[in-house]
Amino acid sequence: MKFVSEKPKTTISVIKADIGSLAGHHVVHPDTMAAAAKVLAEAKSKGIIVDYYVTHAGDDLELIMTHKKGVDSPEVHETAWNAFKEAAKVAKELGLYAAGQDLLAEAFSGNVRGLGPSVAEMEFVERPSEPIVVFMADKTEPGAFNLPLFRVFADPFNTAGLVIDPKLHDGFKFEIYDVMAGKYVVMNAPEELYDILALIGTPGRFVIRRVYRKSDNEIAAVVSVERLNLIAGRYVGKDDPVAVVRAQSGFPAVGEILEAFAFPHLVAGWMRGSHFGPLMPVSQRHARCTRFDGPPRVVALGFQIKNARLIGPSDLFDDPAFDETRRLAQMIAEYMRRHGPFMPHRLGPEEMEYTTLPEVLQKLQNRFVEAKLYEVKGPKVKTELLE
């Protein structure tokens, strides 16, 4: 009896961490990138990974790796961990700000998940042409990708292929992760569009983690969902998520994927992780957050993958077609900044619980006196910020 072997699969792993930055929280120092690249080059020579690309988004060091070892490979994750540790060592030598910030443990324990870095990985059988887009955001949280990914995979006004391409017409499945409860649900589009929106419209809690093509369950997109404050139990910096999206030939076109970022929607993060601001799509050279440590940025790099090799990248937002989006983002940033410490610029109390604000408010706890002017009905008011 003959056994037909499975086609070999390729894995792409995008792993990032803030290991220290130059002059505050705005940009990675090139020497730290060089230190990380040296570790990845050694791993490539040993056959642990097939290819790699080291870059940054604002103050986050980004490692893009391809290999044949599958998702959550201890070897690959240890390689990333060692790269971050070496980069953090250089950051400390240079006196960079917040050196080693995202490395929440001293030792590697088989997987970088839960240790501070954020991870987006997917495994697939390569198509004859395998284009992907790697998104890297700074000064925001994983839920920042909810709106654009919904538009890419479920909104026909954004993605024409959902209407006119028979390979996309059946729709996609969304795996939505509850970051507070550690649970997830898989929901179908377009049948459950309204239920999907009921969840992902709360991006601080419900995050699109993976997207699958409904017709054959083929992976289409993956997002890092690590929430640093939930891991550390305190504010240690914003999560700055990464995402990988497959494009063309049965998936949305690259232009449809990018179109979803042509509206600079409001996301949580910005200064001290405590403010709403517009997500601005920028080129790699403009991925440096300065005004009020922002506004939040997103970079898109396009690659072809062939035999697990990375061909590229192309800096996809380095295009005047996005100039008006950036101009609108500037106007939104100006408008939001004029609110100063007031909501809706500052985050709501449920998010501020994980920042340093409770320490400030603690001293006021005993100064409040009872003044019941009327009976309060309905659900109990949460007062964690003053308890």
44 labelled catalytic: no
| Nearby residues of 297 by Cβ (< 8 Å), 6 or more positions away | 57, 58, 137, 138, 139, 279, 280, 281, 282, 286, 287, 288, 289
Give the pLDDT confidence score for residue 382 in this predicted structure: 53
* pLDDT at site 358: 84
Residue tagged active-site, from 16, 18, 139, 354: 18
- From the candidates 60, 155, 238, 354, give the one annotated as an active-site residue: 238
320: left (phi over 0), alpha (psi -120 to 50) or beta: alpha
**Which secondary-structure segment (H or E) carries 40?**
helix 30-45
Q: How far is the C-alpha of 7 from the C-alpha of 303, rounded, in Å?
A: 22
Token match 């914003």: residue?
238
Confidence at residue 351, expressed as pLDDT on a 0 to 100 scale: 82
CA-CA distance, 9 to 308, in Å (whole number)? 9
C-alpha pair distances (Å), 12 with each of 57, 107, 269, 304: 18, 24, 27, 12
Q: Say how far apart CA 263 and CA 245 lie, in whole Å.
A: 18
For residues 29 and 371, give the distance between their C-alpha atoms in angstroms, rounded to a whole number: 54
> What are the mean pLDDT values of the chain's consecutive 10-residue runs (387 residues total)?
69 95 93 98 98 97 98 96 95 93 74 83 98 97 97 98 97 95 95 98 96 97 79 58 97 98 97 95 96 97 98 98 98 98 92 81 86 70 50
pLDDT number for residue 228:
58
pLDDT in tens, 106-159: 777 677 877 778 999 999 999 999 999 999 999 999 999 999 999 999 999 999
Instruction: With H, G, I as helix, E, B as strand and everything else as coil, classify residue 84.
Output: helix
Q: Which residues contact 352 (CB under 8 A, 6 or more apart)?
A: 274, 346, 358, 385
- Candidates 235, 240, 293, 354; catalytic one: 235
* Annotated catalytic residue 18: yes
What are the two backbone dihedrals, phi and then psi, of residue 102, each rounded to the nearest 5 degrees? -85, 0
Please name every residue paired with 245 in a beta bridge, in sequence order, or none if there are none: 133, 221
Q: Which residues lie below 8 Å from residue 169, measured CB to CB, with a gap of 6+?
A: 162, 163
Task: Please compute Rg for the chain using Cα positions.
Answer: 21
> pTM score > 0.85 for this model?
yes
